[in-house]
Each structure stands twice: as structure tokens, then as C-alpha cells.
Amino acid sequence: NAGVTQTPKFQVLKTGQSMTLQCAQDMNHNSMYWYRQDPGMGLRLIYYSASEGTTDKGEVPNGYNVSRLNKREFSLRLESAAPSQTSVYFCASSEARGQGRNQPQHFGDGTRLSIL
């Protein structure tokens, strides 16, 4: 049982290049999330998908797009990478209900992205 799998683990890009970060979960969770983590900033939500077929903006969506390809997969795309997007990116999933007692999130190992 792999849980949440992110690829790639490391990537170096040049300013202006594009790339897609992949995330897949095998826990049959309905909700998936993308975060970025910068030193001293904690985790900041970029986009989330409450269920298959839906996506919503989080705290810091500018410069990113997402696709919920199916229930298992949720990808994050940088169309034109900028140095300010250098960060560690985490994907997470959970069996969230949207109200009441929600389940916690399970995280992937992260993607370390550097943009020169």
C-alpha cells in the first residue's frame, strides 16, 4: 500500500519553463490537495479537489493550474515557472466529508522544485 505517491521527487527548471507535478493515491479518498512549503511559512494550500470532477482555489493559486484526472490522480501544473515558485510541494489526500468531523490528510513525500 503506497499511500500518496508524488513524482518527480526533485526537479530543476529554468525561468519560463513549464512542468506538471503528478500525484496519485491508492486509499480511495475523495479529496486531494496541493500545498507548497517555504521556510518559516508552514504549508500553504494552492488548490484542492473536494471530489472527482471539482477543483477549488486555496490560499496561493496564482501561477498554478490543476487537473483532477480521476479519483486517484491530481496533478499540478506550472505553465511558466518563476523563481518565486521555488519550494517544496506536497500532495495530500483525505476522506473529507465537508462538514462535521473530517478525516485527517495523508501526505506524499514531496517534490523539491528549484527554478533558476
Partner 1 sequence: QKEVEQNSGPLSVPEGAIASLNCTYSDRGSQSFFWYRQYSGKSPELIMSIYSNGDKEDGRFTAQLNKASQYVSLLIRDSQPSDSATYLCAVMVGGFKTIFGAGTRLFVKA
- Residue numbers of the site for partner 1 (CB under 8 A)? 31, 33, 35, 40-45, 48, 50, 56, 58-59, 90, 96, 98-110
CB-wise, 28 or 99, nearer to partner 1?
Answer: 99
CB of 82 to partner 1, least distance (A): 23
Question: Are the beta carbons of 74 and 23 closer than 8 angstroms?
Answer: yes
- DSSP string computed for 30-61: SEEEEEEEETTTEEEEEEEESSTT--EE-S--
Q: Which is nearer to partner 1, 17 or 50 (CB)?
A: 50
Q: Which residue lies nearer to partner 1 by CB, 69 or 88?
A: 88
Q: How many CA atoms lie within 13 A of 17 on its CB side?
A: 13
